[in-house]
Chain A
Amino acid sequence: MTETTNEPGTGTGQRRIRQARRFVDRTETGALVTVSVMSTALLAALAGFLAVSSLTIAPFALFLITAGYGWLRHQELTARALTLAMTASTLLILGLIIVFIFQASMPVLSYESMRVFGVEVPGLRMFLETRWDAVSDPVRYSMVPMIHGTLVVTVIATVVAAPLGVAAALFLSEIAPPAVRDIVKPGVEILAGIPSIIYGFIGFTLLSPWASRQFQTTGQGTYLFVGIVVGLMALPTVVSVAEDALSSVPESMKSGSLAVGTTDWQTMTSITLPAAFSGVSAAVILGVGRAIGETMAATVMLRGVPRLTDPLINVFYGQETLTSLIARNYGEADGLQMDALFVAGTILFVTVLIISIGSQYIEWRMRKKLGGEV
């Protein structure tokens, strides 16, 4: 630490400015002007697009022209600026998703607000009452039945996907001979590739009638079978992430254990799995995220009647999940009901985002612990 960095804030700030000044000095003026015009035009086009202006095309054309010119004359700097803009686009898209779905869910939140100790809490009634009825009075948009449905389906799916997925990942990464691995691994990938609507179709034509007959329920659609199908669809995610985690355990750790005379299985349970534990749990968490967001299979196989099952553990009846609510009702919904669908979307989005960030944190910690690159 030198004396100039006593105050870290201003220190780095000044260094940034110095760096920027040096960069400007070194770069050709022509290149700088081109890139500045290009970025301004792109920002203007973005602003125009957000403001729903038909003039958006003008700055966008200017952007294309300057980018083309820059590509021919100052390729180095133009490429750098363009790739930076592309990188920022991922942040932009995530930001736009947040803004737009939150914004669209606002009106219904204020409609469903409730007074608690004299304080108006927007949207509270959606989570305290259990009535969803968009037609007859009193019109209520409770999310509780759908949250219950999503929860039940996710729990069943996790019970299916987590043990089978981790076992399959162990098989692929530690046990299988190369020839077998070359068959099973693409198989798991193809399982992920089968479109969810096809899973749903098979569930709808085969599983639902079967379940209705065997469990003697009135009508078709059970959370039990939706959960199993969704678990099957989340399985590939669990397998591939857990397999990555297991194979990132250093070979030296495993060899050390085997050299003491353990069986392969003992090495797996007492060395490999504990070392990769956080990665494997991240895999399960990501699988849970997939299961929560699964839409089409649930939409096709469920009843589409938003209510709680009676009793709550009655998994033989499948009413509605957050995802299937959106997919089923977007068509005839308008006004507050459409906004209520956005609330369902917001709940899904926030839950899954938290899950994603949590699993990334777990994976980051694991890589740090194993001493690999962070």
Chain B
Amino acid sequence: MASATESDLISGRTDSTEAVAGIAVGLAALLFALSLATFFDVVSVTGTLVGVPVVPLVGGLLILLGGAIITFGIGSYLGYVETTPSPTAGLVAAVAAAVPWFVAGVSVGSIMLGSGSAGGVVLGLVTGAVAFAATAFPREDLGSTLPIGALSILAGLVLLSGIIGPEWVWDLGWEQQASLTAGFVVPALTLATSLYVGWAAAKAYGGFGARGRHVGAYALVYVNALSIVAVLVILLAFTVFRGIPGLLTGAEIGLGVGPEVGLFGLSVQLPVSLPFVMNGVALLNDYQGVLPAIVGTFWLVIGAVLFAVPLGIGAAIFLTEYAERGRFTQAVEVATNGLWSTPSIVFGLFGFAFLIPRFGNGKSLLSGMLTLGFMLLPLVLITSREAMLSVPDEYRDASAALGVTKWQTIRSVVLPAALPGVVTGVILGVGRIAGETAPILLTMAGGTFVPGSQTVDVIGGFKFTATPPFVANPELLQATSALPYQLFALITAGVGLGDSVANPNDFRWATALILLVVVLSFYAIGIGARYYFRRKLQYE
């Protein structure tokens, strides 16, 4: 990690110094990876690694690591190593060192004297204070290495000596029974210690002082960014990996295997059959699917967009072009931001209390659409407003100089110029609401399994009636399903699922995968559109 920030200045120093600190950084990275592998059960705490039991191996490595960093610190203090330390390691480093030593003191005290006793806390305060002083008062090369190196050696000794062995369990003795086991404590301990020592080693690698702190901080920030991306990749890969088998159940490719699709009177037989997305649930089906939920999500999004996008863009136009700044615009801004951060379940409650009595006293597609529309509105308003504000005033002045009215300026100059931003914002907003479960839970959702015959057909559902309101669409006023709700229902249904589908777990993961694909395709389009428009603007 630190090599990424290596500069000419640093690489000009002697090789041997670099080697010691570099080995320490590498060792810390190795232990970091090892602890993650243990968390993910790739490496078992009770198992062995290259012929050595894991726990003592980790302990030995921790001792080695602590020894290396302390050696480096003392070497620097005695002048064997050329560094540029500051007079003190600083307050941040002191607090950072005091915290783990406090935790170590409390843990040791609690294990020896029983949990919840005052003795543990006292011991923790003492060790924490000593660590604080040991970091803050000596010169930086000692202060930032000794306490942390000692911590690493202590952790290593605890693991190596078998005080915490593979079968170690500490019952916390609480009313609701809970224990800490080696399976959690060993990797957690290793993770924290390796991060600390890695930080100290990176500082040493940079030769302490301002440059050393720079290298140390950059190492941590890079690890953080890398971890976030890694978490994302793991989440996505895991869902795809688990979802594919269910999705492909009964899939066929070949002429004439798919269902017939009628469009404008023409009927075409698809060359692909993917029962999971083309079927509903029925007794006689060979393979069950989630088609009604997909169609439900589709109509839900359409309805929310039809409601929220005109409102949001109109309001953005008024706020940026017509209104003078005053109480009213301020109130609208506060209300918009308030709506943006309102929890989705509160929108659900609101839809339940406000919309359901007004649309036939039952859960309905229309209520779901409007509830999601309420949620989408602030997103559209905020992004459209930003896009319109970023249109340069010269455009407006040039148009006004031609003698056209304000509305014509807005329509033919401001809106086209702001369109890329507005479109991107709407797409990202739609991606967000398409995956929302909580609001439709209370306003729209139907059953766990929806028969294919209940797939909504909004366009075909319009009818004229003799009583007010003269237009009726029973399809809009029915409860239907949507992908996020379907997944929720499948999870909560638990074991009772077995009778309806052959493999409930595959079915669940496939539903999750389809939902993820639907939502992330909105995001991909939105992010792609923004990237495209930005490139285009840069080159023009």
Contact = CB atoms under 8 A, between A and B. Distances in A.
Contact of B407 (A76, A176, A235): A76
Contacts of A217: 176-178
A111 B209 CA distance: 65
B315 A54 contact: no
A40 interface: no
B115 to A, nearest CB: 10
B49 to A, nearest CB: 20
Contacts, number: 294
A100 B315 contact: no
A79 B491 contact: no
Q: Which of B225, B431, B436 has most A Cβ within 10 Å?
A: B225
A216 B177 contact: yes
A114 interface: no
Nearest to A174: B221
B224 A171 contact: yes
Contact of A167 (B220, B232, B333, B519): B220
Contact of A193 (B310, B342, B520): B520
Contact of A330 (B343, B352, B520): B352
Nearest to B358: A52
Q: Which of A58, A176, A198, A218 has most B Cβ within 10 Å?
A: A198
A75 interface: yes
B311 interface: yes
Contacts of B491: 197, 200-201, 204, 300
Interface stretch (A22-30, A124-132, A134-142, A354-362): A354-362
B336 interface: yes
B467 interface: yes
Interface in A95-127: 96-97, 100-101, 103-104
Interface SS, B side:
helix
A41 interface: no
A47 interface: no
Contacts of A330: 348, 352, 441-442
B139 interface: no
A57 B315 contact: no
A314 B174 contact: yes
Nearest to B518: A195
Interface residues of B, number: 105
A93 B377 contact: yes
Contacts of B214: 263-266
B341 interface: yes
B218 A326 contact: no
A90 B488 contact: no
Nearest to B182: A214
Interface stretch (A2-10, A31-39, A183-191, A247-255): A183-191
A104 B352 CA distance: 10
B346 interface: yes
B474 interface: no
Q: Which of B239, B335, B347 has most A Cβ within 10 Å?
A: B335
Contact of A83 (B171, B314, B353, B471): B314
Nearest to A214: B184
Interface string A129-170: 000000000000000000000000000000000001001101
A184 B224 CA distance: 11
A83 B317 CA distance: 7
A97 B342 contact: yes
B382 to A, nearest CB: 10
Nearest to B177: A218
B51 to A, nearest CB: 26
14 contacts: A54-B467, A97-B342, A97-B347, A167-B220, A167-B221, A167-B224, A186-B527, A189-B527, A190-B527, A193-B519, A195-B437, A314-B178, A355-B341, A360-B337
Closest A-B pairs by Cβ, 7 of them: A293-B343, A195-B435, A86-B314, A57-B469, A83-B318, A310-B175, A316-B178
Given A96-B354, A187-B229, A265-B217, 16 more contacts: A57-B471, A89-B315, A90-B377, A90-B378, A93-B335, A97-B342, A104-B353, A197-B488, A214-B184, A218-B176, A263-B211, A293-B343, A310-B175, A345-B349, A348-B345, A353-B338
Interface of A: 49, 52, 54-58, 75-76, 79-80, 82-87, 89-91, 93-94, 96-97, 100-101, 103-104, 164, 167-168, 170-172, 175-176, 180, 183-184, 186-202, 204, 213-218, 232, 235, 262-266, 286, 289-290, 292-296, 299-300, 309-311, 314, 316-317, 323, 326-327, 330, 341-342, 345, 348-349, 352-353, 355-357, 360
